[in-house]
Structure 1
Amino acid sequence: MKQVGFAEAHWGMLIWAMLIASSFFAAAEVGQSIDPILLTGLRLLFSALIFLPLLLLKNTSPISAKGLLAHAVLGLLLATYFGSLFEALRYTTAVNTATLYTLVPLMTLFFEVFLLPSPSLKTRLLPMSIAAIGALLLILKGAAPGELPALYPVLVFGVGCLAMALYSPLSQRFKAKTLKGRDPVAMTFWNMLFGSLFLFVFCLFNGGWRSGAQLSASDMFWLVYLALFGTLATFWLLHRAIGVISPSTVISYVYLNTLFVTLFHWVWLREQPALIEVTGAVLVGVGMLALVITSRNAKTVTA
């Protein structure tokens, strides 16, 4: 597989952040009475099936049992994240989960220390922290003062955040050994396929599969849209960047999601920017710019 360059990887992740931000608005169009874990499983499955023809056309070597196991582990991490998110949202607000999610890049950096040791890890800590503080300011705008989430949803979603933080460095570790030479198409297909299967199994136990009877034509349209742009394209761009830039830098692009959503409210919805938002936007921009500059010289070492 031809490896993309440094600039291409970062431009791809910029598009990734835009697609993720737009997916929040598209997801709101899907019927709210349908089990969200079932919807996510369908999104991952549709995305995998769309990639299947391309995978079959490519002359790739047969996947080994160890390779399938590696994809199953990565798929389980995805299922754990989405499952914990929707379980936590039953007991707390989206603002609280979004606030906790700002810790994911720093958690990713922690896992990188053990899975992908590199002398450049320390240089990324400060800019990642700056971007995290900026994203936190953007998220906290409008939240009820003094309102703290219950312990249960924090613990549940905390497990999901750990799973998502482990996903990128473990994926790069597998690509260096068990999944060596695996291109973004194959990585995306198998990880999403296993992720959807784990979510469907969960739906069998919690009874969420019954809500599938309420799916309308409009819901299916938005599901296909989300599968194409909110899931398939974003996961392909993610795996395209992993290995070119460090996993902690890759996942730090989630901070731009918050920034793009805020800009949408400013420009499209004509909302007046608050001082805390402007401060947060500046910090996100400064932190991400510093991350891009420092990531140019980052060299990961596998052991």
Structure 2
Amino acid sequence: MNPVNFTQANLGMLLWAALIAASFFAAAQVSRAIDPVLLTALRLLFSALLFVPLLWSRGLSSMTLAALAAHGALGLLLALYFGSLFEALRHTSAVNTGTLYTLVPLLTLLFEGWLLPGDSRRRRLLPMLTAAAGALLLILKGGAPDQLPSWYAMGVYGLGCLAMAAYPPLSQRFKAGSLQGRSPAAMTFWNMLFGSLFLFVACLASGGWRSASLLTGNDLLWLLYLAMFATLATFWLLHRAIGVIAPSTVISYVYLSTLFLTLFHWLWLGQAPHPGELLGVLLVALGMLGLVRSSRPKAITA
């Protein structure tokens, strides 16, 4: 696959942010009686299987033990993130987890400095902080300020956020080594396959697999939609952009998902914007603009 240029990668990440925002509404259509870890394992597995015909038609590339280990490590990071999220949501609100997630791009910037060479990280810190502050204003509008989050939940989810923060720079590090030349489709397939296997093991250990009997045809259709658009497409776009855009900027596009969700509530649900939301939208827009302008690498690689 030919590498995309800087503009194409950023346009793809705009689509990524929109798909992530839309996934929240689609996920709400799936029955809540089903174990969420099982649902995520099925989403990742369905998404991986959808790539099989494409990879088969192009010929399966050779797989070394080092490449399998790299995919296993990246899949484990995905499983750790989703597992920690669902465990945290048993003890705290989505507002609290969403607030903590705003730290992920900043943590990614730290991992980027450790795993990848380069000297442009300081130029991205201020715009990233600006976008994070804006996202916090948008997320916290629905929070209860007098309700303290569970320290256990925040600790568990904090570990998951570390796993997600390490995913983009570690992926780029592997693509320069044991996964060199691996296409975005192959990266997405193997990482999701390993991630789903780890989550299925977690379901077996917790007993969550028993809720599979509650799956209906409607649930499976929504899972298929989520697998195609909210998982497969977004991770393909993510791997398409990694290496063209700085990893910390790639993951910062999650701030635009928060902005898109807010715009949806204004434009389609008819909710009047609050002054804090208007300031949040402005900060996210300015911060992301600064991030994109400061993230063009000196040497673009596939």
TM-score range (shorter-chain normalised) is: over 0.9
Cα distance change, pair 297–52 in 1 and its aligned pair in 2 (3 A): closer
Partner of residue 253, structure 2: 253
Secondary structure of the equivalent of 2:193? helix
| CA deviation map 1:185-230 (0-9, x unaligned) | 0000000000000000000000000000000000000000000000
CA deviation profile, 1:144-183 (whole Å, cap 9, x unmatched): 1232201100000000000000000000000000100000
- The equivalent of 2:84 in structure 1 is 84
1:99-144 Cα deviation digits (max 9, x unpaired): 0000000000000111012111110000000000000000000211
Which residue of structure 1 lines up, in the alignment, with residue 229 of structure 2? Answer: 229
CA contact (8 A) 2:113 2:121 kept: yes
**Quick check: 1:46 aligned with 2:55?**
no
C-alpha RMSD of the superposition: 1.1
CA distance in 2, matches of 1:200, 1:214: 17
**Structure 2 residue 210 is the aligned partner of structure 1 residue 210:** yes
- Verify the 8 A CA contact 1:37 1:83 in the aligned structure 2: yes
Q: Offset of 1:65 from its aligned partner?
A: 1.0
- Pick closer, same or farther for the CA change 1:197–1:183 going to 2, 3 Å: same
Contact 1:100 1:158 in 2 (8 A): yes
Residue 291 of structure 2 corresponds to residue 291 of structure 1: yes
Equivalent-residue separation in structure 2 for 1:142 and 1:150 (angstroms): 18
Conserved 8 A contact 2:246-2:296: no
1:299–1:104 CA distance, 2 compared to 1 (3 A): farther
Measure, in 2, the Cα distance between the counterparts of 1:176 and 1:94. Answer: 36
Residue in 1 that maps onto 2:21: 21
What is the CA-CA distance between 1:295 and the residue it aligns to? 1.3
Correspondence list, 1:68-107, <5 A: 68-107=68-107
Question: What residue number does 1:170 align with?
Answer: 170
The whole-number CA distance in structure 2 between the counterparts of 1:178 and 1:292 is 28
Moved over 4 A (4+): 297-301
Count of residue pairs brought into register by the alignment: 301
Q: Which amino acid aligns with 2:216?
A: S
Q: 1:281 maps to which residue?
A: 281
- For residues 297 and 194 of structure 2, the distance between their equivalents in structure 1, rounded to whole angstroms, comes to 34
Q: Judge conservation of contact 1:118–1:300 (CA < 8 Å) in 2.
A: no
SS in 2 for 1:141: helix
- 1:70-219 alignment, distance < 5 Å: 70-219=70-219
Task: Please say if residues 23 and 230 of structure 2, whose CA atoms lie closer than 8 Å, have aligned partners that are also in contact.
Answer: yes
Paired residues of 1:246 and 1:298 also in contact (CA < 8 A): no
Q: CA deviation at 1:63?
A: 1.0
Residues 48 and 190 in structure 2, CA contact (< 8 A), matched pair in contact too: yes
Match of 1:59 in 2: 59
Letter in 2 for 1:208: G
Gaps of 5+ in 1: none
Alignment partners' CA distance in 2, 1:121 and 1:61: 34
> Counterpart of 2:51 in 1: which secondary structure?
helix
Partners of 2:46 and 2:298 in 1: CA distance? 35
Identity %: 66
Structure 2 length-normalised TM: 0.98
Gaps of 5+ in 2: none
